[in-house]
Amino acid sequence: MAQNIKPTRSELIKLNKSIKLAKSGHSLLKKKRDGMIMEFFEILKNAKSVRGNLAETYKTAQKKGNVSRTLYTDLKLKSLALAMHDNPEIKLATKNIMGVKVPQIDSKEVVKTMKDRKMGVAASTAVIDDTILAYEKLVEEIIKVAEVETTMKKLLTEIEKTKRRVNALEFSVIPKMEETKAFIKLRLEEMERENIFRLKRVKAKSA
């Protein structure tokens, strides 16, 4: 069956171009994969630090909250919480890491001054102010962790996707193309030998 296939030189040239393109794409994807892995481990280092800060900030907020509950009634604390009308302002944007869009969260407006809280000097005390500040810092740390965790998740997804594409090119697409190329070259050589043999026979008959 294969002997009946008659490939052409132009098909071989096209295939060579396709193989070259596939190898170039494979090289670029490998660089992208390796770059993303390096970025991931850099972010992972930061993630450990951010998670540690969150744990410490949570402990501090809990301690200050317990002190406030000991000194004041839950009713007073709830009424002060309701008096704070302004919600924290969070600005969400995106940044690009090796072609992957990840979140960039600006949480600078979370920690507020007494004036920004609009509670009134008479309504609050130093202990309550410390507690509010501790919880504002906790929210800020939670946002930082959310940004890092989401970034890591998106990078991991893209790394896995790129690895699959690299492996497909390396172990399936390119080897099959190389195999086809070898077959075409072999058939072209056979066809050339057949033509030479045919020409010799024609010359022999006409001699």
158-190 tens-digit pLDDT: 999 999 999 999 999 999 999 999 999 999 999
Residue 176 CB burial class (10 angstroms; 0-12, 13-18, ≥19): exposed
Yes or no: say if 90 and 101 are a contact pair by the CB < 8 Å rule: no
Using a 10 angstrom Cβ sphere, with 0-12 exposed, 13-18 middle and 19 or more buried, the burial of residue 158 is: buried
Q: Per mean pLDDT, which range of 8-12, 84-88, 152-156 is the poorest?
A: 84-88
Per-residue pLDDT of 80-100, as tens digits, reads 777 666 666 778 889 999 889
CATH of 19-197, one of 1.10.150.300, 3.30.930.10, 1.10.287.3240, 2.60.120.380: 1.10.287.3240
The residues spanned by each domain of the chain are: 19-197
Name the residue among 40, 39, 72, 29 with its Cα closest to residue 169: 29
Given a cut of 50, whether residue 1 has pLDDT beyond it is no
Structure confidence at residue 115 as a pLDDT band (50, 70, 90): low
Give the residue with greater pLDDT, 30 vs 120: 30
Mean pLDDT of the chain: 87
Phi, psi values for residue 187, rounded to 5°: -65, -40
Phi, psi (rounded to 5 degrees) for 125 = -140, 170
d(C-alpha 198, C-alpha 75), whole Å: 106
Q: Tokens representing 68? A: 């406030």
